[in-house]
Amino acid sequence: MKSALITIGDELLGGYTIDSNAAWIGRKLMDIGIRTVWKLTVPDQKDDIVNAMSLAAEKADVVICTGGLGPTRDDITRDAYCEFTGAELEMDKQYLDELSARFERRGVTMPESNRSQGLVPDRGSVIPNPKGSARGMFCSVDGRWICILPGVPAEMKGMMEESVLPELGDMSTSDLFVTNIRTTGVMESKLHDLLDDAMNGSPVSIAFLPGFSGVDIRLTSEDESVVAELSRGVYKLAGKYIYAEDWVTLEESVGECLREKGVTLAVAESCTGGLLGDRITNVAGSSDYFLGGVVCYSDEAKINLVGVKRETLDSFGAVSEAGVAGPDGGTEEKPVGLTCFGLDDGANPFSRSVTFYRDRRFNKELSAQTALNSVRLRITGQI
Amino acid sequence: MKSALITIGDELLGGYTIDSNAAWIGRKLMDIGIRTVWKLTVPDQKDDIVNAMSLAAEKADVVICTGGLGPTRDDITRDAYCEFTGAELEMDKQYLDELSARFERRGVTMPESNRSQGLVPDRGSVIPNPKGSARGMFCSVDGRWICILPGVPAEMKGMMEESVLPELGDMSTSDLFVTNIRTTGVMESKLHDLLDDAMNGSPVSIAFLPGFSGVDIRLTSEDESVVAELSRGVYKLAGKYIYAEDWVTLEESVGECLREKGVTLAVAESCTGGLLGDRITNVAGSSDYFLGGVVCYSDEAKINLVGVKRETLDSFGAVSEAGVAGPDGGTEEKPVGLTCFGLDDGANPFSRSVTFYRDRRFNKELSAQTALNSVRLRITGQI
């Protein structure tokens, strides 16, 4: 089964909002064997949305639309859905009462503009929204399954998990075996060359998926054994770069290692400004192994919070400890992007300097990634 | 002038990578008066890309494609571009030598798979890539301007800034006046109701653009004076929620306030885990006013790093200081998402508790946003 996604909203086209919903939906669908082959973003205009629904229904069996279900005047996804499916709207008085009561429980009078969220179509089904006021809808049209969901991520996710994915799981008949192998610390082209021998002659479909700070290798086939065989080859040729499989993040993988070994972690950051701690604490349960950290952005913080000596800073400069994130402040010897890492497990301290040649944000991301990866490599005995 | 964006890659459809490029391009185009009306994401398949180019060229004057220009086997955007534009490829030996030399300067032998990046089309122009090996291309086809760019964000951005935007700026003849007013701390529907009087009867086109942690209000018209008039109305009715205009972020706005007042900032975080410091240090030059911070994730860190008394933790629990980010650990009195904020400027300490009803990540985002906004409100004398 194939899916097409339609995300709706001027805010997505104008770049006010990054379309993270579509990525999340794409992953969840792949987990139940539904491949997303098309993704379209259109303005909050009824004609554009109806047009997009028609195009998407030509490309895929399942069409999922998000956005444009809020109460404001530019939210017309529901009208487009009715035009495309031929449904008529009627007022669901019971839901309107519930909605009004829900606002009251939070001590707020329901804004007038929320009334329209009580409207429901006379065909297909309503998708309940446990976390918000905008409900979704789904139905089948000419053998294509289509649904509309709100664009607020937490609401959309709740509705996907509780209603849409179970519904689609029953419909899906996929026999594809997929293994997603996640690497970091290696360029896509080098990885490609490393794996060339293993890939040649393998009947497995292989995709290199470069992400923000690593490359995923996705192996797909209808034959489980050939996927397993190629997977072994990938581990043999590129094992030291592999940190996880499937959708496991580096911070989750590191957290799992720490928990297994009964080791706790504390961090001292400079140029990453807190990003390292932020990533570590994105994992539920990270308080089991993460004690905390300090962000030493100024010389004073370096001296007072982690005990760097004033003389060290005077002799070597903060860059020997901290890196310069950019865009200003680099020198020929110590360019913007030079980042120093240190790791102390009480037994065998490790330090290393790397220069990243990206913009400020990317340098921060790569620095945090490298630091996290160092923890992984140390715990697993690879450095 | 209207634009359509095509982003190419299985990694975008499968959700491995969030499509942040398209958002960035959408914003940059709007700055030169080009409105993005369509965005399409397709797989690394030549036919799909050519098909997308045809559809996009029907919708817009300018078509910008990103992704699929790397050296690996699934990168076939260049072939699709040639098919769509009718161009033929030839090898640019001079560039190949340059590329090879660039790899050598970094102490790396050029991987064989990079050779294909020397190929150039025999019509249109090449777009130089100062930050990477994959060059872009552009040309006009039947009155439509089309270009292809790599998907690596830093490379794409450099090429847009240095080549594509200047080229398009010369072509654009927009007379639209746009004001983007950024708010935080207010729901979209409430903002809508607040502004109803000002909006009714105004000839200005108004869009509410809800983002991750705030709502932008975009006012557009060909008449500068009506935009200015409505803008004044928005400030009058919703001024306390407004933190900036255009693309200025809350952390930039707060940084500017701190710099103006000559005030420095330090932070103590718990449930946000470092996210607050991360956001503050995303601003170039933030070391002028940001001293650093501590992340007190454990009770010990709360005691040792910020001097919370053990008795306080025993009597009130860490939640009275720290919040519970979720998904576990909440109680009836102290639900998941309960977050406590404190601000001390040496004169008039301020504290406040808020409960966020989202998932772990969203609660972190909203907490960091609320903390930053508190700094803004205090410096501007609003709390």
Question: What is the pLDDT, as a whole number, of residue B278?
Answer: 98
Lowest mean pLDDT among A178-182, B254-258, B290-294: A178-182
- Residue A281 and residue B24: Cβ atoms within 8 Å? no
Nearest to B292 by CA among B266, B257, B270: B266
**Which chain A residue has the Cα nearest residue B282?**
A361
Position A194 confidence tier, pLDDT thresholds 50, 70, 90 = very high
B71 to chain A, minimum CA–CA distance in Å?
Answer: 6
The span from the CA of B294 to the CA of B305, in Å, is 7
Residue from the list A192, A292, A328 with its beta carbon closest to the beta carbon of B294:
A292
A261 to chain B, minimum CA–CA distance in Å?
Answer: 19
Listing DSSP states for A110-151 in one string gives: PPGGGGGGGEEESSSEEE--TTSS--EEEEEETTEEEEEE-S
Mean pLDDT of B235-262: 95
The CA-atom distances, in angstroms, between B275 and each of A229, B270, B280, B308, B366 are 41, 10, 9, 21, 11
Residue from the list A111, A209, A359 with its beta carbon closest to the beta carbon of B193:
A111
- Residue B12 and residue A295: Cβ atoms within 8 Å? no
- Residue A357 and residue B111: Cβ atoms within 8 Å? no
Identify which has the larger pLDDT, B108 or B203: B203
The answer to whether residues B272 and A272 touch, using CB atoms and an 8 Å cutoff, is: no
State residue A137 phi and psi, 5-degree precision: -145, 150
Q: What is the mean pLDDT of chain A?
A: 89
Chain A residues with CB under 8 Å of B36 CB are 13-15
- Residue A269 and residue B272: Cβ atoms within 8 Å? no
* % of chain A at pLDDT higher than 90: 54
The span from the CA of B100 to the CA of B30, in Å, is 37
Mean pLDDT of A192-197: 92
Position B328 confidence tier, pLDDT thresholds 50, 70, 90 = low
CA trace torsion B110, B115, B121, B124 (10° rounding) = -10
Identify which has the larger pLDDT, B231 or A12: B231
**Which chain B residue has the Cα nearest residue A195?**
B72
Question: What is the pLDDT, as a whole number, of residue B326?
Answer: 47
User: Is the pLDDT assigned to residue B343 strictly greater than 70?
Assistant: yes
Question: What is the pLDDT, as a whole number, of residue B331?
Answer: 61
Question: What is the pLDDT, as a whole number, of residue A354?
Answer: 87
The answer to whether residues B83 and B24 touch, using CB atoms and an 8 Å cutoff, is: no
- Specify the CATH number of the domain B2-171: 3.40.980.10
Chain A residues with CB under 8 Å of B72 CB are 188-189, 192, 208
Question: What is the pLDDT, as a whole number, of residue B325?
Answer: 45
The span from the CA of B73 to the CA of B111, in Å, is 13
Which of A116, A199, A209 to mutate to probe the B interface, most B CBs <10 Å? A209
pLDDT digits (tens, 9 = 90+) for A275-293: 999 999 999 999 999 999 9
Note whether B2-171 and B250-379 share their fold.
no
B380 to chain A, minimum CA–CA distance in Å?
Answer: 25
The span from the CA of B311 to the CA of B232, in Å, is 51
pLDDT digits (tens, 9 = 90+) for A213-245: 789 898 988 899 999 999 999 999 999 999 999
ipTM tops 0.85? no
pLDDT digits (tens, 9 = 90+) for B267-286: 999 999 999 999 999 999 99
User: Is the pLDDT assigned to residue B324 strictly greater than 50?
Assistant: no
A324 to chain B, minimum CA–CA distance in Å?
Answer: 11
Question: What is the pLDDT, as a whole number, of residue B74?
Answer: 57
**Which chain B residue has the Cα nearest residue A133?**
B189
Nearest to A2 by CA among B282, B48, B184, B372: B48
The span from the CA of B274 to the CA of B293, in Å, is 8
Question: What is the pLDDT, as a whole number, of residue A147?
Answer: 97
Chain A residues with CB under 8 Å of B364 CB are 278, 281-282
B140 to chain A, minimum CA–CA distance in Å?
Answer: 23
User: Is the pLDDT assigned to residue A167 strictly greater than 70?
Assistant: yes
**Residue count of chain A:** 383
User: Is the pLDDT assigned to residue A304 strictly greater than 60?
Assistant: yes
User: Is the pLDDT assigned to residue B32 strictly greater than 60?
Assistant: yes
The span from the CA of B352 to the CA of B340, in Å, is 6
Pairing of strands A125-127, A136-141: antiparallel
CB contacts < 8 Å between A and B, how many? 323
Which of A2, A5, A11 to mutate to probe the B interface, most B CBs <10 Å? A11
User: Is the pLDDT assigned to residue B322 strictly greater than 60?
Assistant: no
Identify which has the larger pLDDT, A2 or B106: A2
Instruction: Indicate the fold that domain B177-245 takes in CATH.
Output: Alpha-Beta Plaits (3.30.70)
The span from the CA of A222 to the CA of A175, in Å, is 6
Pairing of strands B144-149, B205-210: unpaired
pLDDT digits (tens, 9 = 90+) for A41-62: 999 899 999 999 999 999 999 9
SS3 state at A218: strand
The answer to whether residues B39 and B2 touch, using CB atoms and an 8 Å cutoff, is: no
- Residue B72 and residue A208: Cβ atoms within 8 Å? yes
A308 to chain B, minimum CA–CA distance in Å?
Answer: 14
Nearest to B128 by CA among B106, B153, B161: B161
Position A188 confidence tier, pLDDT thresholds 50, 70, 90 = confident
B306 to chain A, minimum CA–CA distance in Å?
Answer: 11
**Which chain B residue has the Cα nearest residue A361?**
B282
Question: What is the pLDDT, as a whole number, of residue A365?
Answer: 92
Helices (H), B43-181: 46-59, 77-85, 93-105, 153-159, 165-171
Question: What is the pLDDT, as a whole number, of residue B320?
Answer: 63
Go through B332-369 and write b for each residue having 16 or more CB atoms within 10 A of its CB, e for each that does not.
eebebbbbbeeeeeeeeeeeeeeebebbbbbbbbbbbb
**Which chain A residue has the Cα nearest residue B268?**
A294
Pairing of strands A242-245, A177-183: antiparallel
pLDDT digits (tens, 9 = 90+) for A72-116: 655 689 999 999 999 998 999 998 898 888 888 878 888 887 888
State the helix-helix crossing angle for B250-261 and B360-379, rounded to 10 degrees. Answer: 30
Chain A residues with CB under 8 Å of B23 CB are 12, 15-19
Listing DSSP states for A325-345 in one string gives: -SSS---SSS-TTEEEEEE--
- Residue B297 and residue A290: Cβ atoms within 8 Å? yes
Domain extents in chain A:
2-171, 177-245, 250-379
Question: What is the pLDDT, as a whole number, of residue A325?
Answer: 45
The span from the CA of B329 to the CA of B227, in Å, is 49
- Residue B209 and residue A16: Cβ atoms within 8 Å? yes
**Which chain B residue has the Cα nearest residue A207?**
B74
Lowest mean pLDDT among A245-254, B284-293, B319-328: B319-328
Nearest to A26 by CA among A7, A3, A60: A3
Burial class (CB in 10 A: 0-12, 13-18, 19+), B197: exposed
How far apart are the two ends of chain B, measured CA to CA in Å? Answer: 44
Chain A residues with CB under 8 Å of B15 CB are 22-28, 30, 36
Mean pLDDT of B108-129: 87
Its sign, for the CA torsion A370, A373, A378, A383, is negative
Residue A260 is encoded by which pair of tokens?
């297994």
A23 to chain B, minimum CA–CA distance in Å?
Answer: 4
pTM for the predicted model, two decimal places: 0.81
Q: Which CATH superfamily is domain A250-379 in?
A: CinA-like (3.90.950.20)
pLDDT digits (tens, 9 = 90+) for A127-165: 999 888 889 999 999 999 999 999 888 889 999 999 999
User: Is the pLDDT assigned to residue A249 strictly greater than 60?
Assistant: yes
The answer to whether residues B277 and B269 touch, using CB atoms and an 8 Å cutoff, is: yes
Which residues, in sequence order, are CB contacts of A124 under 8 Å at separation 6+? Answer: A85, A87, A137, A138, A139, A140
How crowded is residue A93: how many other Cβ atoms within 10 Å of its Cβ? 9
Question: What is the pLDDT, as a whole number, of residue B189?
Answer: 84
Mean pLDDT of B130-139: 89
Burial class (CB in 10 A: 0-12, 13-18, 19+), A213: middle
The answer to whether residues A115 and A146 touch, using CB atoms and an 8 Å cutoff, is: no
Question: What is the pLDDT, as a whole number, of residue A322?
Answer: 44
Nearest to A149 by CA among A8, A264, A322: A8
Chain A residues with CB under 8 Å of B313 CB are none
User: Is the pLDDT assigned to residue A306 strictly greater than 60?
Assistant: yes
